[in-house]
Each structure stands twice: as structure tokens, then as C-alpha cells.
Amino acid sequence: MASATLSAPVNKAANPRKGMPKWVWALPPVAVLALVFLYPLALVVQQSVQPDTGGTSLKPYADVFASSAFREALGTTVWLALGATVGCLVLGFALALVIAFVPFPGGKAVAKFIDVFLSFPSFLITLALLFVYGSVGMANGLWTDVTGAASGPFQFLTTPWGVLLAEITYFTPFVMRPLLAAFSQIETAQLEVASSLGAKPARIIRQVILPEALPALAAGGSLVLVMCLNEFGIVLFTGAKGVTTLPMLVYSKAILESDYPGACVVAVVNVLISVGLYGLYRVVSRRAGA
Amino acid sequence: MASGIRFDKVSVAYGANTVLHSLDLTVEPGEVMALLGPSGSGKTTALRAVAGFVRPASGRVLIGDRDVTDLPPHRRGIGMVVQQYALFPHLRVEDNVAFGLKAQKVAKAEIPARVTEALEMTGMASYAKRYPRELSGGQQQRVAIARALAIRPGVLLLDEPLSALDAQLRSGMLAELARLHRELPDVSILYVTHDQVEALTLADRIAVMDKARLQDCGTPQELYRRPRTEFTASFVGNANLLPVQVGSGSVSFAGAQLKVPTGDVASGVSATLCVRPHLVGLGDGPNALTGSVSEVQWRGSTHRLYVDVDGHRLKADLRELRTPPALGDEVTVHFAPEDAVLLSAGVSKDG
Ligand SMILES: Nc1ncnc2c1ncn2[C@@H]1O[C@H](COP(=O)(O)OP(=O)(O)O)[C@@H](O)[C@H]1O
Ligand SMILES: [Mg+2]
């Protein structure tokens, strides 16, 4: 009885107002999105099925898929991105743990610096690595000065490992930021109770901190994965000639070979992989309890 | 394996700020000791020194006869329950309770029975499969207590465990805690609270803390009936604290001679007389004082009168009055000589 009389005014308030249905309000943002984002994407897709010989066909796809350069670039891109993501997650988790839970002077400043680091352009990190590990960088210079050898031992920067190092260096803060936010939400009391129950630090990290940080790891990891798949500046600036990723392939096809349909095909593939892997990652991380 | 707790001149400082000052206190095996004091008096700090989360600047902490001052928290074997429950949100109730057993490498086959036992003790056995977020505050606190008891600790530390609960739940939980202690008579309990009712109800002895120092320690009855300091008198229960001149067998207050036991307090000094408000009677009687009513509060079963006697405010808690006096009325109140306590600590010559 009471609930019936009480709920009556609520129902009235919940009645939709006469006039425009709600979805009308979604139209302007969708229109803007379509104009600035979907339309260019559609153009790229359209271009990718219009070979230079005229007409509309899937020949550009057949050509690109048949070329070994494409298959190599595809493999390189995926393993570099996956490797960099795993590296960033492991390194980022370890560093964030130290910053959040080990009190040391300047810890706050380090956390602040991470925010600043996120605003750096990616090539800057690569440039810095070149200064340190490049063929004429500080490390090799020191080596040649000391040993008198003609060249130093650090030649990895122009290999895929150099790209991997640069990507991990640059993208790790992108994982640390959500992690630090998540760690700051964990009650100190939980960690203290865990340790009074007899848990050593390693167990506390595994069974208390890690599970509570999973959503942050998933968020940071998926962000880094997509950014690595599409990374261009780092690969370009390491000067690694043998390392061709999909974005590099798009660049060389479009700018150097003027093969626009080919470039568009690679671009479409790149977008599909990004979206696909991102989707997969979200599904997996949700399964993991995030 | 009953083991007590001993603070041996334990001092704790944060920078130049000493928050615990040379604490000497012994919790006997199987005893419930309440640490009672206002917020910021250093109670939590003392408890955390036992658990191992703050390092004393000086002094030792002993559990049983083991010096644990340098032992990390995970090797102390202590059960701890805090105000905000601190359950692990991603673990089911049963896994929360099993956490300590796994950490202590209890045989796998033994764990389910121990978990059930602990949950049954706190009446939470039927909630084993739930997640903490699916429980009410009181239920979460029961799980937290079960989790602490599952490891069968010799020492249980409780830091304001009922503060986050509403009043009705709190009195129920208080009874539960008392029952738990009857079932586990060997567990020594250090119970931190700022609530005198919790301390009086639950504790075998109460240690009263203020300003980083232990002010007083005794059974609830001792502290309530024979407080030594003004602080104890007003913090453990309610008190009228009257400034008096001590004579022989009597004191003078506001021009009146009051017959009270003066014990061995020297004649001629200034002291404080403590009279509990509920022991003050209305009307004429022994030790009568007259003043005007400055406030009347009706509290259901009692009336609280504030009576101005020569500029001093006297509180009287009286059984509900048919016709309470009006504001400004002249009234006479009285108390029996044996119901007054002359505070012996801090007595000054000629104040
Ligand atoms: N980590 C800390 N750093 C600095 N001061 C602290 C810290 N923890 C507690 N204090 C100070 O110590 C004093 C006692 O605190 P606490 O033991 O928590 O009091 P209580 O539990 O009696 O309310 C307070 O003044 C508090 O500000
Ligand atoms: Mg406290």
C-alpha cells in the first residue's frame, strides 16, 4: 500500500517528456565523429580497392598479401608491440610498486615527473638513447677511448631490440600512471593486516596488490599495445634499416614508392589489427577478473 | 599457549614529535586490556608498536617472554582487526579467512575446517561464498574478526573495531566480543577505543591514555569509583569536578563545609572533589548545596539538571522527574559523603 502511493509520483517523473526522443541528442556528436574520423577512414578503404590500373578490385590486397615485405612487416609489428607491452607491464608494475610502497625521499617528485614524461614526444626518448647507445654515442665513445678499439660493443640500437628498448622506455610511464592511481586506492590497512596474518612481501604483492591492480594493468596494457602497433617516430629515429613495421611500410609505399592503393591496404590492415588485438585484450583481461 | 603483552618503556616519535612517551604496561595472558583515550592520544601508535608497524625509538615490546621489538610483523603471530575492516575485496569470505592460514603454511587438508570453525565462531558460516562488498558493515567486521582468529593468535589487537558501526549494532557486537573472549580465554586482547562504554563493558582492565602518556591503569570499577586524576574521572564516566580546600574530615566548597573522606590528603591544600552526576540527589540531605537551575535536559529515563552553585556548574542526573524545576529556580542538591572522591593525584599546596 505504502509503496504504491510512494511510487506514483516517481513514475510520473520518469515518464519521458512529450517531444523529441532522446536519440536525437546523439546525432550531432555522431555527425562530427563521422565527418572527422569515419569519412577519412572510408576514403582510405575506398582507395585500397582502387588499383592504379583502374576499376575496383581486390588486386591491391592480393599484391600486398603476396609480398614478403608485407608479411615480414606484419610479423615484426605484432611481436614488437606484444613484446613492448609485456615489457612495459612488468617494468611499470615493478617501478610503480617501488614508488607507491617503498618510502624514499623524492618519491613524490618521481611520481610527478611521470606525468611530465607522458607529454614528451616519442622520438625524444629515441634521440636520448642514440646519444647514450648509438654507434657514436657516449657508451661506445667511452669504450673506444678506454680500449682504443675502432668501434664500441653497443650496436643493438639499429636492431629490433633497440626499437623494443626504446618502446619500453617510452611507454612504461603509460602503464605506471594508471597503476599508481590504483595503488593509491589500496588501503594501507589491508597490506598491514595481510602482513600481520603472516604474509611476506612477495605474497602480499601477488595476492593482495596484483589482483587489485588488474584493471589498471589491463587499461595501461591495452593502451600501450595499440600505441606500439601504430608507433612510427621511434622506429624511424632509431635508424633501424632492417626493422620495418606496418606504419613504416605505409610511409615507404605512400611517400617513397607513390603506391597509394598499396599504402592504403597496409593502413587498413594496421587499423584492423589494432582494433582486433585491443578487443582481444579487453576480453582476456575481463576474463582475468578485471 | 597463553601469552601476554608487555610494553617496556616504549617511546615512539615522528621526527621531533613524541607520540608515545615511555609506555610501561603489561597485558596479562588471557586478559582484555582496553586502551582508552581521546583521539590523538597515541592509542593506535601503541597498538601498531605491538603489531610491528611502528618501530619504537626506545624501549622493548614483548609477547609472552619473546622480545619482538626487532621482529617483522609477519613473524609475530598476531591477530589484528581495524576500524575499516580491511577485508581483501577480490577474495570471497572463506578465502579472506583462509589467507592467514595459507600464509602460515597450514596443511592444505586442514584449512577448510579451520575456516569453517572461525566463521562459525563469529556466526558468519553461511556467508562463506560471498564477497565482502555483498556484506553489511557489521558482517564485514565479523569476517575480519574470523580472519584474525583463524590463525589462532595468542594476542588479538583490536583498533576501534566498532567505530564504523551504528549504535544498536555496536552494543550487539560488544556482547559478541565478550562471548568470543569467554570461548577463547587464553587470547590476550588489546582493545583500542575512545568510547568509555566499550572499555567499561569489555575490559578486565583499562589503561587511560592522554597526550602520548599513560595516565592511569586499573579495573573499570577502580577507575570509575576511585579515579586518581581529573582526566580519568572525566573520561571514564561523567564527573562533577569541584575545586575544594581540604580540611580535616571535610572540605570547603563555595563557602559550604562538605563531609567527605579525605584519606591521607594533608589539611590546608587545594584539591579536586569528584562526584558522579547520577549520585547527586535533589532536595535536602547530607552535603547540601543550593544554586539556581541553568539548564534542564530531558533524556527519556533521566533528567540532567545543571545547577549553578556559586559560579560552579554542577551536573545532576536524576530519575525522570514528574515536575522538573524551571530555569532559574533555586534548588538544593546533595550527595552522600561516601559517594565523593577526593582526587589524590596532582594535589597542590595552597593552589
Ligand atoms: N605516520 C605518522 N606520521 C606522523 N605523525 C603521526 C603518524 N601517525 C600518527 N601520528 C601522530 O601521532 C599522534 C597519535 O596518533 P594515534 O596513535 O593514531 O592516536 P589515537 O589512535 O589515540 O587517536 C597523533 O598526533 C598523530 O597525528
Ligand atoms: Mg586511533
| pLDDT band at A96; cut points 50, 70, 90 | very high
* pLDDT > 80? residue B240: yes
* pLDDT > 60? residue B1: no
* pLDDT > 80? residue B134: yes
The residues pairing with B17 across neighbouring beta strands, listed in sequence order, are B14
Sign of the C-alpha dihedral computed for residues B321, B323, B329 and B331 taken in this order: negative
Neighbours of B138 (CB within 10 A): 18
Do the Cβ atoms of B103 and A200 come within 8 Å?
A: yes
Residue of B nearest to A200 (CA): B74
Q: What is the pLDDT of residue B347?
A: 58
Rg (CA), chain B: 24
Point out the ligand 1 atom lying closest to the alpha carbon of residue B209.
22
| pLDDT band at A285; cut points 50, 70, 90 | low
The pLDDT tens digits for A99-150 are 999 888 888 888 888 888 888 888 888 888 888 888 778 888 888 888 888 8
Burial category of B288 from C-beta neighbours within 10 Å (exposed 0-12, middle 13-18, buried 19 and up): middle
Q: What is the pLDDT of residue A81?
A: 93
* pLDDT > 50? residue A12: no
Q: Is B40 in the pocket of ligand 1 (CB under 6 A)?
A: yes
Q: Where are the domains of chain A?
A: 80-243
Q: Choose the residue to mutate in B44, B191, B214 for probing ligand 1, maximizing ligand atoms within 8 Å of C-beta.
A: B44
Q: Is B153 in the pocket of ligand 1 (CB under 6 A)?
A: no
- CA of A186 vs chain B CAs: smallest distance (Å): 10
Q: Is the pTM of this model over 0.90?
A: no
* pLDDT > 60? residue B40: yes
- CATH classification of B238-348, choosing from 2.40.50.140, 3.90.1150.10, 3.30.1330.100, 1.20.810.10? 2.40.50.140
Q: What is the pLDDT of residue B345?
A: 63
- B5-230 and B238-348 agree in CATH topology: no
Q: Where are the domains of chain B?
A: 5-230, 238-348
Burial category of B1 from C-beta neighbours within 10 Å (exposed 0-12, middle 13-18, buried 19 and up): exposed
Q: What is the pLDDT of residue A9?
A: 47
Q: Choose the residue to mutate in B23, B41, B45, B159 for probing ligand 1, maximizing ligand atoms within 8 Å of C-beta.
A: B45
Q: What is the mean pLDDT of residues B5-18?
A: 95
Do the Cβ atoms of B82 and A199 come within 8 Å?
A: no
* pLDDT > 50? residue A7: no
Q: What is the pLDDT of residue A122?
A: 83
Using DSSP's 3-state secondary structure scheme, residue B182 falls into: helix
* pLDDT > 90? residue B104: yes
The pLDDT tens digits for B298-312 are 999 999 999 999 999
Q: What is the pLDDT of residue B351?
A: 35
Using DSSP's 3-state secondary structure scheme, residue B283 falls into: coil
The residues pairing with B218 across neighbouring beta strands, listed in sequence order, are B206
Do the Cβ atoms of A196 and B72 come within 8 Å?
A: no
Instruction: Determine which of A109-123, B18-32, B160-174 has the lowest per-residue pLDDT on average.
Output: A109-123
Q: What is the pLDDT of residue A3?
A: 44
* pLDDT > 70? residue B141: yes
Kindly list the distances between the CA atom of residue A228 and the CA atoms of A129, A213, A242, B230, in Å, as whole numbers in the listed order: 18, 22, 18, 70
| Residues, Cβ < 5 Å to ion ligand 2 | B 44
| Residue B160 grid cell | 576501534
Point out the ligand 1 atom lying closest to the alpha carbon of residue B43.
22
Q: What CATH architecture is B5-230?
A: 3-Layer(aba) Sandwich (3.40)
What is the rounded CA–CA span in Å between residue B12 and residue B175?
A: 33
The pLDDT tens digits for B309-335 are 999 999 999 999 999 999 999 999 999
Instruction: Determine which of A7-16, B170-179, B245-254 has the lowest per-residue pLDDT on average.
Output: A7-16
DSSP result, chain A:
-HHHHHHHHHHHHHSPPSSS-GGGGGHHHHHHHIIIIIHHHHHHHHHHT--TTSS--SHHHHHHHH-HHHHHHHHHHHHHHHHHHHHHHHHHHHHHHHHHHS--TTHHHHHHHHHHHHTS-HHHHHHHHHHHHSTTSHHHHHHHHHH--SS-S--GGGSHHHHHHHHHHHHHHHHHHHHHHHHHHS-HHHHHHHHHTT--HHHHIIIIIHHHHHHHHHHHHHHHHHHHHT--HHHHHHT-TT---HHHHHHIIIIIS--HHHHHHHHHHHHHHHHHHHHHHHHHHHHTT-
* pLDDT > 90? residue B266: no
How far is C-alpha A186 from the geometric centre of its chain's CA atoms?
Answer: 25
Q: Is B41 in the pocket of ligand 1 (CB under 6 A)?
A: yes
Interface of A with B in 170-229 (CB under 8 A): 187, 189-190, 192-200, 203, 207-208, 211-212
Q: Atom 6 (ligand 1): residue with closest C-alpha?
A: B14
Q: Atom 4 (ligand 1): residue with closest C-alpha?
A: B14
Average pLDDT of chain B to the nearest whole number: 93
Q: What is the pLDDT of residue B348?
A: 47
Instruction: Determine which of B74-78, B170-174, B263-267 has the lowest per-residue pLDDT on average.
Output: B263-267
Q: What is the pLDDT of residue A19?
A: 73
Q: What CATH architecture is A80-243?
A: Orthogonal Bundle (1.10)
Q: What is the mean pLDDT of residues A38-63?
A: 86
Instruction: Determine which of A250-259, B67-76, B108-117 has the lowest per-residue pLDDT on average.
Output: A250-259
Do the Cβ atoms of B88 and A199 come within 8 Å?
A: no
Q: What is the mean pLDDT of residues B82-99?
A: 96
* pLDDT > 90? residue B268: no
Using DSSP's 3-state secondary structure scheme, residue B314 falls into: strand
Do the Cβ atoms of B103 and A193 come within 8 Å?
A: no
Q: What is the pLDDT of residue A118?
A: 83
Q: What is the mean pLDDT of residues A259-280?
A: 88
Pick the residue with more confidence: A147 or B209? Answer: B209
Instruction: Determine which of A85-99, A111-125, A199-213, B176-190 has the lowest per-residue pLDDT on average.
Output: A111-125
Q: What is the pLDDT of residue A126?
A: 83
How far is C-alpha A209 from the geometric centre of its chain's CA atoms?
Answer: 23
* pLDDT > 80? residue A5: no
The pLDDT tens digits for B46-82 are 999 999 999 999 999 999 999 999 999 999 999 999 9
Q: What is the pLDDT of residue B274?
A: 95
- Which residue among B82, B91, B100 sits closest to A198, beta carbon to beta carbon? B100
Pick the residue with more confidence: A157 or A272? Answer: A272
Q: What is the pLDDT of residue B344?
A: 73
* pLDDT > 80? residue A241: no
Q: Is B194 in the pocket of ligand 1 (CB under 6 A)?
A: no
* pLDDT > 80? residue A35: yes
B99 neighbourhood in chain A, CB within 8 Å: 194, 197, 199, 207
Q: What is the pLDDT of residue A145?
A: 87
Q: Atom 24 (ligand 1): residue with closest C-alpha?
A: B40
| pLDDT band at B346; cut points 50, 70, 90 | low
Average pLDDT of chain A to the nearest whole number: 85
Q: Where are the alpha helices (DSSP H) in chain B?
A: 43-51, 93-103, 111-121, 137-150, 167-183, 196-202, 220-225, 230-235
Which of A62-66, A127-131, A147-151, B335-339 has the highest mean predicted lDDT (pLDDT)? Answer: B335-339
